[in-house]
């Protein structure tokens, strides 16, 4: 799937602490699927992120499912990313999965996760 390859694994703000969601993309009727991470400080609520991603992915022919959310603390100066917290609406994403996806996009970063709320 070249279209799926064109979708970036990670789109998050370059700095700060913000909400994020883990989204599963799937071709209707099964077949290929992959998980992507999206996060931004512009989103007051987790569903704001999903409401932006979902139509973009539908245009490319994917069904989207939000697997949960949390927060990301991105410190680009120290090359550190911390994944924590949860989404009230979507529940907690599997942060360990999120970290593996982030590691592909942010090589050379120290990336950690916890179930801490703050």
Q: For the domain that residue 72 is a member of, what is the CATH number? A: 3.50.20.20
For position 5, what pLDDT does the model report? 73
For the annotated binding site for substrate, the residues are 19
Q: Is residue 3 part of a domain?
A: no
The residue whose two tokens read 């609520």 is 45
pTM for the predicted model, two decimal places: 0.94
Q: What pLDDT score does 2 carry?
A: 61
Residue 64 has a CB neighbour count (10 Å cut-off) of 18
Residue 36 belongs to some domain of the structure: yes
* Number of separate domains in the chain: 1
Angle at CA of residue 103, ends 100 and 105, nearest 5° = 120
Whole-angstrom Cα Rg for the chain: 14
Q: Would residue 49 count as lying in a domain?
A: yes
**48-97: pLDDT as tens digits:** 999 999 999 999 999 999 999 999 999 999 999 999 999 999 999 999 99
Domain that holds residue 31: 10-114
Q: Which residues belong to the annotated binding site?
A: 19
**Residue-level pLDDT at 31:** 79
Is 74 part of the annotated catalytic residue set? no
Catalytic entry in 46, 48, 74, 95: 46
Residue at 24 is within a domain = yes
Q: What pLDDT was estimated at residue 30?
A: 78
For residue 4, being part of any structural domain is answered with: no
């Amino acid at each position: 799937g070249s279209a799926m390859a064109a979708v970036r694994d990670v789109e998050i703000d370059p700095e700060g602490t913000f909400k994020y969601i883990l989204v599963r993309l799937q071709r209707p009727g099964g077949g290929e699927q992959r998980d992507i991470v999206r996060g931004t400080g512009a989103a007051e609520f987790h569903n704001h992120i999903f409401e932006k991603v979902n139509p973009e992915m539908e245009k490319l022919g994917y069904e989207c499912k939000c697997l949960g959310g949390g927060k990301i603390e991105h410190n680009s100066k120290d090359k550190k990313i911390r994944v924590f917290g949860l989404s009230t609406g979507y529940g907690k994403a599997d942060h360990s999965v999120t970290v593996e996806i982030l590691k592909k996009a942010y090589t050379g970063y120290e990336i950690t996760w916890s179930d801490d709320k703050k």
